[in-house]
Amino acid sequence: MSTSFVGENPSNALKLPGRDCSLDSLPNTTSYDLFPNALSKNSGSKEQKTLTLRELSMLQLMNHITDKVDWQRKIHQEEIATKWQSEACSTDDLDMSQRMASYCIDELRYKASLYTAGASSGAPQSIIVFPGDVVKSDIAVSSQMKLLLQRAVKTFEGAIPESARDWHPGSNGKVWDLVHPSLFPLVYGRSRVLSGENTTSLSDCIERCGEGVVLPILPKKEAKYWFDFCGLSAYSNKFQWLPCEVDISGENARFTSYINNLHPKRERALYGLVEKLIDASIPLWNRTLAPLADRQYRQPERIKYTRVEYDPDPARAPETEGRQQREAEDENDYWDRRQEWIEETRKIIYPEPDAPFVPHAEPAKFDLRERYSKSGLQIIVKLANIQLTPENPCYDGGSWHVEGQMNERIIATSLYYYSSDNITTSTLSFRQQIDSQGLELDVSYPQNDHEWLWDIFGCDQDGYAIQDLGCVETREGRLLTFPNTLQHRVVKFQLEDLTKPGHRKVLALFLVDPNIKTISTAHVPCQQQEWWWEAAMEGQNRSERGHGPAVGKVPNELQDHILKNVDFPMTMEDAKNLRLELMEERKVYSKLAESTFEGHDTFSLCEH
C-alpha cells in the first residue's frame, strides 16, 4: 500500500520530502548533486586520504602558530620564526624534524601573505586547520558585533524567569538551551504543515498558527535503511528539526521565516545579529564546502609515504648476523626466533617532506551566494550556554557525532563562540573516515609486515579506518566551520578559578544542503501555545476594530478552559515531553551511527 502525502503538488511545484514524497526522495535533483554527508552512502565519498602522523604533527604546529596574536606579521620576522621552529623541534609531545618545521614556516608565510591581502581585497581572512575542511577565523566577526551579541543575549536571558530556564535534559543543570531545534520540532502525526506553495512570513507566522494539515506518521518502510547491517534507518519517521529560510540574493542575508523557538517580533534585534553572523559564516562555509563541491579535487600531501623502509634493516642482513640456529633446533622455531630478532632490531625510517613547500592546488571556486542566490539557504539555529559553578565545576565533554539525521540534510556547521569566562582551555576534536584500500595500493611493504601501519599512520591492522585529526581551540570571538563528513566532539573542560562561576556560550548554525529543500518554518506556522495566546490577547485588545484571532474575543472566564482543552498549538510541557522522545530516538541512533562511522571500513593488509 502506498503512502499518501499532504496536498496536491503539480509536477513543476516545489516538492518537500516527508510532505509531498517519501523522506528519501530527491525531487528535482540527483544524489550526485548532493554534498557528501557522513550519514548517507548516496551523496559522494566521505573518505579522506590517510595522513601520516608526521603530517598531523605539522597541522598541529601550524594550528598552534596561527592561534598566536599577530602571527601573520611575526611569521615573517626571522628571529621569531626561528624561535618557533626551534621550540617545535624540541617539544617532547610533538614529532617534528627540522625539515618538517621549516616546511611549516614556509607554508605559513605563504598563508600569511594571502591573509594580509584578504584585508584589502575582501577575501576571507581565515585558516584551514584540517582537511575536510575545518576553517577558523578570529576576525571574521568584529569585536563590535561580538559585544552587540553579548548584550542582546544577556537581555534575552534576563527576560527568562529562573524557573523557566530550559536546562538540557541529562546535563545536570550545566547546559542552558536558549534556542534549541529539538524543542517544538516538526512532529509527524502532530504538526500542521501548509501545502503547495503556501508559506508563512515573519509577520504572520504566529497569527496563522493552526493552519495546515497534520502530516501522518510515515511507515517505517518509507524511511529506507542506510545502515543495513545494523537495521537502523538514517531517517526518523516522527521528528525533524525545522530550519528557517534565508534570502541571500541581496548584499546581506535576510530571514524570510522564523527561527524556531526565537520570537519573530520580540527578538528582532537578535534576528538581525544572527543574519550578520550568517553573512560572516558564508565565506568560511565556502572554504569548507569547496573541496566537497569539486569532485575532482584531491587534498594535498605534505608528506608522501610510498615505501616501508628500515635502517638498520636486519631482514636484509646476511644470515651469519643476528640469532643463529641452535644445535638440534627445529627449523620453524629458529625462523620464529630470527624473525623476533629482526622485529626487535629494525628501526623504521620516518618520512619527511620530499620537497620544499610550494603552494598547493586549490579546489574550484565555490560561492554559496553565486550558486544559490535564487533559491536561498535553509539554516537551523541553536543558542546554548555551558554554565559551570563551584558546585558543578566540570563539563565532561561530549561524544563523537555528526549533526542531525538525514531528515535535516545538514552538510556543514558554523559555530561562533561569543562569550567565555573563567574556564580552562576549551577545544573541539575532529576525526575522519579514511581510505584504507587506497593506502594499501599506495604503499609498498614487506611480506607479513603490519607494524608500519601504526608507526607511520597510527592505525592498526584489522582496526577501524578512522583517523583523529586533532583539536581546535574554541576561544571567545572565534568562528569555526566544518563539514558533516567529519565527526566532532567537545573536549572536557572546567572552571579555571574553582571558587567562581564560569561559562562558554555558542551560537550554532547548521546549513541544510541547498540542493534539496526540506520542510521549514516557512511551511510550519509557529507551534508554541504561549506565542499563539499572546497574539490572541493582543487581538482581544483590537477586537473593537474587528482584528485579531477570534479566541481573543472569548470572555476571560472561558480562556483557561480553552487553553486546557486544545491539543494544538503545543504547550511547553507537551514540547518537552516530545523532546525527550526525540532525544531517546536520537540517542539510540547516535550510538549505532557512531559504530557505523567507525566500522565503515577496516585495515586488512593483504599478504603478498
pLDDT (tens digit per residue) in 25-65:
887 777 778 899 888 765 555 678 899 999 999 999 999 99
Domain assignment present for residue 466? The answer is: yes
Instruction: Place 592 in a pLDDT band, splitting at 50, 70 and 90.
Output: confident
Domain assignment present for residue 504? The answer is: yes
DSSP structure class, residue 221: G
Work out whether strand 232-233 and strand 466-473 pair parallel, antiparallel, or are unpaired: unpaired
Give the Cα separation of 290 and 135 in Å (integer): 12
Long-range (24+ apart) CB contacts under 8 A made by 158-166 are: none
Give the Cα separation of 141 and 155 in Å (integer): 20
Give the Cα separation of 345 and 206 in Å (integer): 75
Query: Helix (H, G, I), strand (E, B), or coil: what is residue 186?
Result: strand
Give the other-Cβ count within 10 Å of 239's Cβ.
Answer: 23
Domain assignment present for residue 291? The answer is: yes
If asked whether residues 39 and 57 sit together in one domain, one would say no
Give the count of alpha carbons within 13 A of 493, CB side only. 26
If asked whether residues 414 and 524 sit together in one domain, one would say yes
If asked whether residues 381 and 236 sit together in one domain, one would say yes
Is pLDDT at 116 greater than 90 in this prediction?
no
Average pLDDT over residues 298-324: 80
Q: What is the pLDDT of residue 111?
A: 94
pLDDT of 213-223, one tens digit each? 999 987 765 44
If asked whether residues 88 and 179 sit together in one domain, one would say no
Mean pLDDT, the chain, rounded, equals: 87
Average pLDDT over residues 142-165: 96
pLDDT of 261-275, one tens digit each? 999 999 999 999 999
Work out whether strand 232-233 and strand 239-240 pair parallel, antiparallel, or are unpaired: unpaired
Give the Cα separation of 504 and 476 in Å (integer): 8
Domain assignment present for residue 88? The answer is: yes
Domain encompassing residue 535: 529-565
pLDDT above 70 coverage of the chain, percent: 84
Q: What is the pLDDT of residue 336?
A: 72
Number of domains making up the chain: 4
Average pLDDT over residues 555-567: 55
Domain assignment present for residue 340? The answer is: yes
Task: Give Cα separations from 23 to 57, 247, 517, 525 (angstroms).
Answer: 42, 25, 11, 21
Q: Is the dihedral of CA 316, 318, 322, 324 positive or negative?
A: positive
Give the other-Cβ count within 10 Å of 438's Cβ.
Answer: 13
Q: What is the pLDDT of residue 14?
A: 80
Contacts of 352 (CB under 8 A, 6+ apart): 54, 97, 99, 100, 303
If asked whether residues 292 and 173 sit together in one domain, one would say yes
Q: What is the pLDDT of residue 529?
A: 92
Give the Cα separation of 17 and 14 in Å (integer): 10
If asked whether residues 515 and 451 sit together in one domain, one would say yes
φ and ψ at residue 79, rounded to 5 degrees:
-65, -45
Contacts of 215 (CB under 8 A, 6+ apart): 6, 18, 19, 186, 188, 189, 191, 193
pLDDT of 198-250, one tens digit each? 999 999 999 999 999 999 987 765 444 444 334 457 889 999 999 999 999 99
Cβ 34 vs Cβ 40: under 8 Å: yes
Instruction: Place 446 in a pLDDT band, splitting at 50, 70 and 90.
Output: confident
If asked whether residues 373 and 339 sit together in one domain, one would say no
Helix or strand run (H / E) with residue 321: none
Instruction: Return the amino acid letter for 275.
Output: E
Q: What are the DSSP calls for 153-184, one per residue?
A: HHHHHHTS-GGG--BPTTSTT-EEEEE-TTSS
If asked whether residues 225 and 182 sit together in one domain, one would say yes
If asked whether residues 239 and 335 sit together in one domain, one would say no
Last residue of a domain, one of 88, 107, 130: 130
Helix or strand run (H / E) with residue 102: helix 98-121
Domain assignment present for residue 20? The answer is: no
Q: What is the pLDDT of residue 388?
A: 98
Cβ 222 vs Cβ 392: under 8 Å: no
pLDDT above 90 coverage of the chain, percent: 63
Helix or strand run (H / E) with residue 72: helix 71-74
Q: Which residues pair with 507 in a beta bridge?
A: 383, 416
pLDDT of 376-425, one tens digit each? 999 999 999 999 999 999 999 999 999 999 999 999 999 999 999 999 99
Domain assignment present for residue 355? The answer is: no
Whole-structure pTM value:
0.90
Out of 327-336, 362-371, 459-468, 555-564, which region has the weakest mean confidence (pLDDT)? 555-564
Instruction: Place 13 in a pLDDT band, splitting at 50, 70 and 90.
Output: low
If asked whether residues 336 and 435 sit together in one domain, one would say no
If asked whether residues 443 and 500 sit together in one domain, one would say yes
Farthest CA pair distance, the chain: 113
Q: What is the pLDDT of residue 548?
A: 47
pLDDT of 493-544, one tens digit each? 999 999 999 999 999 999 999 999 999 999 999 999 999 888 877 765 555 4
Instruction: Return the amino acid letter for 361.
Output: A
Domain assignment present for residue 604? The answer is: no
If asked whether residues 282 and 366 sit together in one domain, one would say yes
Instruction: Place 341 in a pLDDT band, splitting at 50, 70 and 90.
Output: confident
